[in-house]
């Protein structure tokens, strides 16, 4: 099962790959630990030094797809070891040299889960998240709601802006409008999702201690004391607007004052869909490594493998915080991502996933 619609009509709706990569190319615009390079990077991909020129990579990709058969290993070796900005340059060079898009060629040469993973990886990250959100809006179920929450909460404020722009370019509609009009959701969940996808949070590190104390009390009143609905005004306002450092301070104050973590309180009410989605938002906002470790594990355990979720989690975090995801995975499950991926996948699909996960 492909993890996204890879028909040619959908491919041609994707904005060009040479979009500005706000999420990856400007470390100053990112929270600590979310850059793809530099001393605070928690990215897991490795890039050769020196990096070959984009035209050389494009020519080698052409060699890998010409003639009888496809050299999947060569494609993984090139694209799996390049950053988003470098992949964009390769795509521009490839189209200039061969008068076809790189995504078109990958679509025609690959198949199955490998094709899904390679195409998601090769896309511009903002266009990728726009595509994932658009697909999630067409399917019913908590795991698809979680995709929207990931897109809204698990990355930088500038990245969410880029996703909304990419969504508008690809689908001639706004992400906010499509979430608000989605017939699969009803209030208060729909109202909460709209609040999340329209947010633009302060990206600095300043924290107001008095505000953290006050809002911790407001969350306790709403979630524990029940003096307002779970998705009432205070909860939506706090989670939908506060910066990630401010939320961390609020949740820490909640733990200090009440002896229990806010997400643990929500876990006790996990049978309630609203509480479960609220917990997903909390994790994506302040500890996304926990959320994506859980996504990877859930995609592997049980009968069969949820390749769609497994691919999404690994592809979307490889340039952000996969090293933290791997560390959290060991703490939560006493196993490694590598061992579980090896146990449930094979072939070249296994190869691209492990390339992006990196060594453990």
Is the pLDDT at 161 greater than 90, yes or no? yes
- CA-nearest of 145, 127, 128 to 137 is 145
Distances in Å between the Cα of 15 and the Cα atoms of 123, 127, 167 are: 9, 7, 9
Label residue 222 by pLDDT band (50, 70, 90): confident
Greatest Cα pair distance, the chain, in angstroms, is 68
User: What is the Cα–Cα distance from 323 to 153, expressed in whole angstroms?
Assistant: 19
Determine the average pLDDT of the residues in 266-294: 92
Confidence category of residue 40, pLDDT binned at 50, 70, 90:
low
> Annotated binding site, which residues?
67, 69, 109, 300, 304, 344-345
Residue 13 has pLDDT above 50, yes or no: no
Distance CA 79, CA 348 (A): 13
Structure confidence at residue 173 (pLDDT): 96
Q: Which CATH number fits domain 54-110: 3.40.50.360, 1.10.220.10, 1.10.357.10, 3.40.50.12780?
A: 1.10.220.10
Mean of the pLDDT values across residues 314-342?
98
What is the structure's pLDDT at 249? 98
What is the CATH T-level fold of the domain 125-198, as seen in this structure?
Answer: Annexin V; domain 1 (1.10.220)
Q: What share of the chain is helix, strand, coil (3-state, %, to 5)?
A: 65, 0, 35
**Predicted confidence (pLDDT) at residue 3 exceeds the cutoff of 80:** no
219 closest CA partner among 139, 278, 151:
278
Domain spans in the chain, listed from the N-terminal domain onward: 54-110, 125-198, 209-286, 289-357
CATH value of 209-286 in 3.30.200.20, 1.10.220.10, 1.10.260.40, 3.60.21.10? 1.10.220.10
Local confidence band at 227 (pLDDT 50, 70, 90 cut-offs)? low
Mean pLDDT of 130-151: 96
Binding-site residue set for Ca(2+):
67, 69, 109, 300, 304, 344-345
Please state the rounded mean pLDDT for residues 37-55. Answer: 84
Residue 263 has pLDDT above 70, yes or no: yes
pLDDT at 268: 87
Mean pLDDT of the chain: 89
Average pLDDT over residues 160-184: 97
Between these two residues, 345 and 222, which has the higher pLDDT value?
A: 345
Read off the DSSP letter of residue 231. Answer: T
Strands (E), 221-313: none
- Number of helices (H), then strands (E), in the chain: 22, 0
């Amino acid at each position: 099962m492909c993890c996204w619609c890879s028909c040619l009509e959908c491919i041609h709706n994707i904005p060009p790959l040479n979009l500005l990569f706000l999420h990856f190319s400007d470390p100053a615009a990112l929270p600590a630990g979310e850059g793809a390079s530099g001393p605070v990077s928690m990215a897991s991909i490795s890039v050769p030094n020196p990096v070959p020129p984009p035209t050389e990579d494009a020519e080698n990709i052409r060699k890998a797809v010409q003639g009888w058969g496809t050299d999947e290993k060569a494609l993984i070796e090139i694209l799996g070891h390049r950053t988003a900005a470098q992949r964009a340059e390769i795509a521009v060079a490839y189209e200039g040299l061969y008068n076809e898009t790189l995504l078109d060629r990958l679509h025609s040469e690959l198949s199955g889960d490998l094709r899904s993973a390679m195409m998601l990886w090769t896309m511009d990250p903002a266009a990728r998240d726009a595509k994932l959100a658009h697909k999630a809006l067409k399917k019913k179920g908590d795991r698809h709601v979680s995709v929207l929450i990931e897109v809204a909460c698990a990355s930088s404020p500038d990245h969410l802006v880029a996703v909304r722009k990419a969504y508008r370019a690809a689908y001639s509609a706004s992400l906010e409008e499509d979430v608000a009009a989605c017939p699969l959701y009803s209030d208060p969940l729909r109202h909460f999702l709209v609040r999340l996808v329209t947010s633009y949070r302060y990206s600095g590190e300043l924290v107001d201690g008095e505000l953290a104390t006050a809002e911790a009390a407001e969350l306790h009143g709403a979630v524990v004391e029940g003096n307002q609905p779970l998705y009432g005004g205070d909860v939506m306002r706090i989670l939908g607007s506060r910066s990630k450092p401010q939320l961390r301070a609020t949740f820490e104050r909640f733990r200090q004052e009440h002896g229990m973590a806010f997400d643990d309180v929500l876990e006790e009410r996990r049978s309630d869909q609203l509480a479960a989605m609220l917990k997903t938002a909390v994790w994506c906002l302040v500890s996304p490594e926990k959320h994506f470790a859980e996504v990877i594990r859930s995609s592997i355990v049980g009968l069969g493998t949820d390749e769609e979720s497994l691919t999404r989690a690994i592809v979307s975090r490889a340039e952000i915080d996969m090293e933290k995801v791997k560390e959290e995975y060991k703490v939560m499950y006493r196993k490694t991502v590598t061992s579980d991926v090896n146990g449930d996948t094979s072939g070249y699909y296994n190869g691209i996933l492990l390339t992006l996960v990196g060594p453990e």
